[in-house]
Amino acid sequence: MTAGVRLIIMGRQGAGKGTQCQRISRHFVVPHISTGEILRAAVREGTEIGKMAKQVIEAGRLVGDEIMIEIIRERLEQDDARTRGYILDGFPRTVAQAVALDGIAAERPIHVVLDLDVPRDLVIQRISSRRACRDCGTNYVATGQKRDPWTCDSCGGDVVIRDDDTPESISQRLDLYESQTAPLLEFYGRDSRLVVIDGSKGPDEVFASLTAAIDFARKSD
């Protein structure tokens, strides 16, 4: 069995993180820990920290560093993460979270931080081409071929542009991501843990670059 790994993956929305995280997870046999998913799971399961998060969410506020750090701490203490490692996706988002993570992972430090870098204009192009069924949520990609009306192959519902995938909404999300991420890239770049990967290439080339960076970081550990 391939040895496990402990890593953080970063990248703009539309950079292909989801696809690559799945492949890395299978290749190294480690859990892909998505912040959004474990937050929803904590709320659904009614854990103590999940109840706190639910109160914040229901009040219409953003979940703060303290709650997110505790949710991550709980997840990284589970057997699969302790024995095999993990891929952190969506955490940390702030330098305070990154500092806390270094404390949590002090006994088994992060091997590498990967930044999947895709130019902003290409990301906007990728996201703008996404479509979804209004009824069942099945995802599609517009290829430039006109389909009017465009109906879902699964349920026959209308296939439309998602409300949050307009150029204006995409630009706002990218602006927010870039303002949040710049301090993190600087933080991880100081001690050479950060590796920038060209995410504009084909999925197989990107995966090869990611696994090469991970293997090198593990050997240097």
* Residue 93 bears catalytic tag: yes
- Residue 191, Cβ density class (10 Å: 0-12 exposed, 13-18 middle, ≥19 buried): exposed
pLDDT of 221 > 70? The answer is no
Mean pLDDT (the chain) is 89
The answer to whether the CB of 45 falls within 8 A of the CB of 101 is: no
Mean pLDDT across 51-76:
88
> What's the pLDDT tens digit per position in 97-127?
999 999 999 999 999 999 999 999 898 888 8
Q: Catalytic site residue 120? A: no
User: What average pLDDT does the segment 183-202 reach?
Assistant: 95
Is residue 162 among the annotated active site residues?
A: yes
Q: Is the pLDDT assigned to residue 216 strictly greater than 70?
A: yes
- Asked about 23 being catalytic, the answer comes back as no
Domains of the chain: 5-118+181-220 (3.40.50.300)
pLDDT for residue 168: 81
Q: Is the pLDDT of residue 1 over 70?
A: no
Question: Which candidate in 6, 12, 17, 84 is catalytic?
Answer: 17
Could you tell me which of 82, 80, 77, 104 has the C-alpha nearest to residue 92? Answer: 104
Q: What is the pLDDT of residue 147?
A: 75
